[in-house]
């Protein structure tokens, strides 16, 4: 089916978050209060969350710019108007305070410049198109829901809440996979136990997904907020098109194959194979905006911090390998890759995303302790990085993957 907003991008009015929220609310779904202007938001006396708005944030780049509490950048009410707010954010690039830090620097201005440089785009246009909308700040827990792109009736759900710092910090994180109304995977990291019920979450997701303006065959990434038992819609970002796997992986691993801890997405029945980038030569020799974009890339570990590069490449990849930090600790990996827009995209934007066990590479860091120098030097991935740095060529391993969307086997072919 066609998407109303992709048929004509002007329908987003330059502000996809607010425009879609207005539409969803008109269809009887709870949405936090929005304010028409900076002046109105101040007059409300409510805590106000300033959300970045950019036309690309609906279907291309999730989290194109930072969102923040109005009080962080407008302490004392010195900001004159919306344009002054934008210029202040771009000019100062820092806010007065943050939940996790006394001084929090915006990374998105750098991200935009880097993103545009890699694609050969003049950054002036994206900056011109940047705006902000003003929302009532809700408490409660932040929840993200994505329908599985391979298995009908299967949903990925994350909950995240954190407040305070140090020993007084109250925090909660859940990653759950629900299939046919049954929880088939769940990992909870919590200081204060919370009972999870997902029926209302899936209902809200499907109610939103099936509204006439959206493509019902798409598996959107929908962000919600749960407050006092009520769910509020926050954001709809387009995901992958649903494509059923069509087979079940019922056999045992063959020689050389290893079953992975987690998979999202499926391969053909016979699997697929190709070169997976373990280390980019540019990572040790060039600034982020000087990296070369591969014309074609089968898969990658993305073991670097060039977020703009990953954002561009993820939709082009058939395979994303998320190499775990610790052996067998799936919950920790899901926590790391599910608490922010960019990490969520790494799980749900490539054709297939996999978290193998920690023994895919020689001498992995399998214990929760710091490596000494000799141990670090012996790691296979360190040797790959060294080779890429010395030769100026990216390093690879060749892998074969078979996945039905629930289970996956991985095999090294080199």
Query: What is the pLDDT at residue 101?
Result: 38
Q: In what order do the strands lie in the sheet with 352-355?
A: 257-259, 408-412, 395-403, 272-279, 299-300, 319-321, 352-355, 262-264
Question: Please, which pLDDT band fits residue 80 given cuts at 50, 70 and 90?
Answer: confident
Q: What is the pTM of this model?
A: 0.90
pLDDT digits (tens, 9 = 90+) for 381-407: 889 999 999 999 999 999 999 999 999
Of 22-31, 54-63, 309-318, the range with the lowest mean pLDDT is 54-63
Q: CA-CA distance, 336 to 382, in Å (whole number)?
A: 22
pLDDT digits (tens, 9 = 90+) for 207-227: 999 999 999 999 999 999 999
In the numeric block, the tokens 């360190």 are attached to 382
Q: Output the 3-class SS for the chain.
A: CCCHHHHCHHHHCCCHHHHHHHHHHHCCCCCCCEECCHHHHHHHCCCEEEEEECHHHCCCCCCCCCCEEHHHHCCCCCCCCHHHHHHHHHHHCEECCCCCCCCEECCHHHHHHHHHHHHCCCCHHHHHHCEEEEEECCCCEEEEEEECCCCCCEEEEEEEEEECCHHHCEEEEEEEEEECCEEEEEEEEECCCCCCCCHHHHHHHHHHHCCCCCCCCEEEEEEEEEECCEEEEEEEEEEEECCCCCCCCCCCCCCCEEECCEEECECCCCCEEEEEEEECHHHHCCCHHHCCCCCCCCEECCCCCCHHHHHHHHHHCCEEECCCCCCCCHHHHHHHCCCCHHHHHHHHCCCEEEECCCCCCCCCCCCCCCCCHHHHHHCHHHHHHHHHHHHCCCEEEEEEEEEECCCEEEEECC
Q: CA-CA distance, 387 to 374, in Å (whole number)?
A: 17
Q: CA-CA distance, 211 to 110, in Å (whole number)?
A: 36
Question: If you average pLDDT over every residue of the chain, what do you get?
Answer: 87
User: Which pair of tokens denotes residue 114?
Assistant: 């880097």
pLDDT digits (tens, 9 = 90+) for 91-108: 765 433 333 333 334 446
How large is the average pLDDT for residues 242-269? 96
Q: In what order do the strands lie in the sheet with 131-136?
A: 34-35, 131-136, 48-53, 68-69
Residues in the chain: 414
Question: Please, which pLDDT band fits residue 1 given cuts at 50, 70 and 90?
Answer: confident
CB-CB contact of 132 with 53 (8 Å):
yes
Q: Among 101, 144, 92, which residue's Cα sits nearest to residue 344?
A: 144
Distances 407 to 168, 261, 323, 393 between C-alpha atoms, Å:
39, 8, 17, 33
How large is the average pLDDT for residues 190-216? 87
CB-CB contact of 131 with 86 (8 Å):
yes
Sign of the Cα pseudo-torsion (402, 358, 264, 187, in order):
positive
CB-CB contact of 276 with 401 (8 Å):
no
How large is the average pLDDT for residues 361-369? 67
Is 237's pLDDT higher than 60? yes
Name the residue with higher pLDDT: 399 or 113: 399
Query: What is the pLDDT at residue 144?
Result: 93
Is 70's pLDDT higher than 50? yes
At residue 16's C-alpha, the angle toward residues 12 and 20, to 5°, is 85
Name the residue with higher pLDDT: 209 or 70: 209
| Those residues with Cβ within 8 angstroms of residue 378's Cβ, 6 or more apart along the chain or in another chain | 363
Burial of residue 5, with CB atoms counted within 10 A of its CB: 0-12 exposed, 13-18 middle, 19 or more buried: buried
């Amino acid at each position: 089916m066609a998407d109303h907003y992709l048929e004509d991008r002007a329908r987003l009015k330059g502000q996809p978050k607010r425009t879609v929220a207005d539409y969803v609310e008109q269809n009887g779904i709870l949405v936090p209060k929005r304010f028409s202007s900076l002046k109105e938001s101040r007059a409300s006396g409510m805590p106000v969350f300033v959300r970045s708005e950019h036309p690309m944030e609906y279907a291309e780049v999730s989290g194109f710019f930072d969102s923040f509490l109005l009080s962080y950048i407008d302490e004392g009410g010195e900001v004159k108007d919306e344009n002054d707010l934008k210029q202040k954010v771009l000019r100062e690039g820092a806010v007065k305070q943050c939940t996790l830090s006394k001084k929090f620097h915006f990374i998105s201005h750098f991200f935009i410049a880097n993103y545009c440089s890699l694609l050969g785009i003049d950054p002036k246009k994206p900056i011109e198109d940047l705006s902000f909308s003003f929302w009532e700040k809700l408490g409660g827990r932040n929840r993200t829901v994505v329908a599985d792109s391979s298995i009908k009736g299967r949903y990925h759900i994350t909950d995240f809440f954190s407040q305070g710092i140090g020993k007084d910090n109250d925090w909660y994180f859940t990653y759950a996979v629900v299939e046919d109304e049954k929880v088939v995977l769940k990992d909870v990291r919590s200081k204060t136990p919370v009972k999870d019920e997902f029926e209302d979450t899936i209902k809200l997701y499907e109610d939103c997904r099936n509204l006439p303006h959206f493509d019902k065959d798409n598996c959107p990434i929908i962000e919600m907020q749960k407050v006092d038992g009520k769910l509020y819609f926050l954001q709809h970002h387009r995901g992958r098109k649903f494509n059923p796997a069509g087979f079940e992986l019922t056999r045992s691993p063959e020689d050389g194959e290893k079953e992975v801890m987690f998979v999202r997405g499926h391969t053909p029945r016979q699997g697929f194979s190709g070169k997976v980038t373990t280390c980019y030569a540019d990572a040790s020799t060039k600034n982020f905006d000087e990296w070369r974009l591969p014309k074609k890339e089968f898969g990658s570990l993305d073991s670097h911090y060039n977020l703009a590069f990953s954002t561009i490449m993820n939709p082009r990849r058939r395979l994303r390998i998320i190499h775990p930090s610790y052996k067998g600790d799936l919950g920790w990996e899901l926590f790391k890759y599910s608490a922010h827009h960019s990490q969520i995209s790494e799980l749900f934007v490539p054709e297939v995303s996999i978290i193998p066990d920690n023994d895919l590479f020689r001498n992995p860091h399998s214990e929760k302790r710091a490596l000494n120098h000799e141990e670090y030097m012996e790691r296979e991935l360190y040797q790959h990085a060294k080779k890429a740095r010395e030769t100026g060529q990216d390093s690879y391993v060749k892998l074969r993957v078979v996945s039905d969307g629930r289970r996956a086997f991985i095999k090294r072919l080199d």
